[in-house]
Amino acid sequence: MTPPPPAVGRALWLVGVPASGKTTLARAIIARLRHHGVCTLWLDSDDLRRVLTPSPSYDDEERDQFYRAIVHLAKLGVDGGATVVISATAHQRTWRESLRNQVNRLDEVWLAPSRDVVMRRDPKGLYRAAEAGEIDSLPGVDVAFEPPIHPALVFDTGAMSVEDMADVILARMF
């Protein structure tokens, strides 16, 4: 008996500054993929941070360690044939490029709403805290955010619905 061909995994990394809509869009994409029977793995930075760095310092060393772990988990998922959806700021290109060098397919989708939109959303109060000087390591404010060089797609998440963005992404991926 001939074994079935291996499943072909892929990764989709939703990148953008905090409050750009990464988790919300990932949730919609995952729901649609699962509805169609696609094997998925969702790696959300907020969820993983609670486990990998429960008392985060957000310094460079900790962020490097955190994103190395995300890249490793994503590679394992892709190698296992899953469609891995990553919703994580990943403000340094080097982290995303590390995954690109380890998997056959990585699509980066850059969520790029206006500053007004992210400040208005700000569910964790990060922008208010940065403006008040209470935190000094917010990507896009105090820390440079390096957008993808060749993103598969770019969305202004303040101008397009989550449903429409998910439709465009899934049409491109499949």
Whole-number percent of the chain with pLDDT over 90: 74
Q: What's the pTM value of the predicted model, to 2 decimals?
A: 0.92
More confident residue, 164 or 1: 164
3-state secondary structure 126-140: HHHHHHCCCCCCCEC
pLDDT at 156 over 70: yes
d(CA 61, CA 65): 6
Find the mean pLDDT for residues 117-127: 88
Find the mean pLDDT for residues 130-152: 90
pLDDT at 3 over 60: no
* Residue 155 CB contacts under 8 Å (≥ 6 apart), including other chains: 109, 110, 111, 112, 165, 168
Q: Report pLDDT digits (tens) over 55-108.
A: 888 888 999 999 999 999 999 999 999 999 999 999 999 999 999 999 999 999
Rg (CA), the chain: 16
pLDDT at 7 over 80: no
Please tell me the predicted confidence (pLDDT) of residue 138: 87
Please tell me the predicted confidence (pLDDT) of residue 2: 54
pLDDT at 111 over 70: yes
pLDDT band for position 124 (50/70/90)? confident
Cα separation values, 122 from 5, 34, 98, Å: 45, 29, 29
Q: Which CATH class is domain 10-169?
A: alpha beta
Find the mean pLDDT for residues 127-142: 87
How high is the mean pLDDT of the chain? Answer: 92
